[in-house]
Amino acid sequence: MSRRPFPLGYVRDDLADFTGYSSARTSAPAGAVAPAAAASGEQGVPVEQGAPVDLAWLNANEAATPNRADAGASVRRYPDPQPAALRGRLAGLWGVATDELLVTRGSDEGIDLLVRACCAPGGATRGDASGPAAGAARGGVVVAPPTFGMYAVTARLHGAAVHAVPQLVEPAEGPGGGERWRVDVDAVLRTARQQQADLVLLPSPGNPTGQGVPVEDLVRLAEGLRRDEAPALLVVDEAYADFTDAPSAATLLATHENVVVLRTLSKAHGLAGARIGAVLARAELVALLGRVQAPYPLAVPAVQLALAATEPAALEDTADRVRRTLAERDRVTTALRDLAGRPGSGIEAVLVAEANFVTLRCTDPGSVLDALEEQGVVARALATHPGLADGVRVTLGTPEQDDRVLRALGAHPPAHRPPTGRPTRTTPEETP
Ligand X SMILES: Cc1ncc(COP(=O)(O)O)c(C=O)c1O
Q: Are 391 and 363 in contact (CB under 8 A)?
A: no
Q: How far is the CB of 171 from ligand X (least distance, A)?
A: 24
**Cβ-based nearer residue to ligand X, 107 or 248:** 107
**Cβ-based nearer residue to ligand X, 235 or 362:** 235
Total binding residues for ligand X by CB under 6 A? 12
- Out of 73, 85, 272, 308, the only residue in the binding site for ligand X (CB under 6 A) is 272
Longest CA pairwise span in the chain (Å):
83
Per CB under 6 A, does 167 bind ligand X?
Answer: no
Q: How far is the CB of 17 from ligand X (least distance, A)?
A: 30
Q: Are 422 and 346 in contact (CB under 8 A)?
A: no
> Of 65-73, 225-233, 264-272, 320-328, which part binds ligand X (CB under 6 A)?
264-272
> Of 58-66, 106-114, 152-160, 299-307, which part binds ligand X (CB under 6 A)?
106-114
Q: How far is the CB of 187 from ligand X (least distance, A)?
A: 21
Nearest residue by C-beta to ligand X?
106
- 294's CB contacts (< 8 A; 6+ apart) are none
Per CB under 6 A, does 244 bind ligand X?
Answer: no
Letter string b/e over residues 78-94, b meaning 16 or more CB atoms within 10 A of that residue's CB: bbbbbbeebbebbbbbb
Per CB under 6 A, does 107 bind ligand X?
Answer: yes
Per CB under 6 A, does 384 bind ligand X?
Answer: no
According to DSSP, the β-strands at 391-395 and 357-362 are antiparallel
**Half-sphere exposure (CA, 13 Å, Cβ side) for 250?**
26
Q: How far is the CB of 111 from ligand X (least distance, A)?
A: 7
Q: Are 231 and 248 in contact (CB under 8 A)?
A: no
Per CB under 6 A, does 212 bind ligand X?
Answer: no
Q: Where are the beta strands (DSSP E) in 315-367?
A: 347-350, 357-362
Query: Helix 300-309 crosses helix 84-94 at what angle (to 10 degrees)?
Result: 40
Per CB under 6 A, does 333 bind ligand X?
Answer: no
> Of 32-40, 65-73, 100-108, 409-417, which part binds ligand X (CB under 6 A)?
100-108
Q: How far is the CB of 104 from ligand X (least distance, A)?
A: 8
Q: What end-to-end distance do the CA atoms of the chain give, in Å?
A: 28
Per CB under 6 A, does 211 bind ligand X?
Answer: no
353 SS3 class: coil
Q: How far is the CB of 209 from ligand X (least distance, A)?
A: 10
Per CB under 6 A, does 203 bind ligand X?
Answer: yes
Per CB under 6 A, does 148 bind ligand X?
Answer: yes
According to DSSP, the β-strands at 277-280 and 347-350 are unpaired
Q: Where are the beta strands (DSSP E) in 92-149?
A: 101-104, 141-143
Per CB under 6 A, does 207 bind ligand X?
Answer: yes
Instruction: Give the interface with ligand X as residue ranges (CB under 6 A).
Output: 106-108, 148, 203, 207, 237, 239, 264, 266, 272, 277
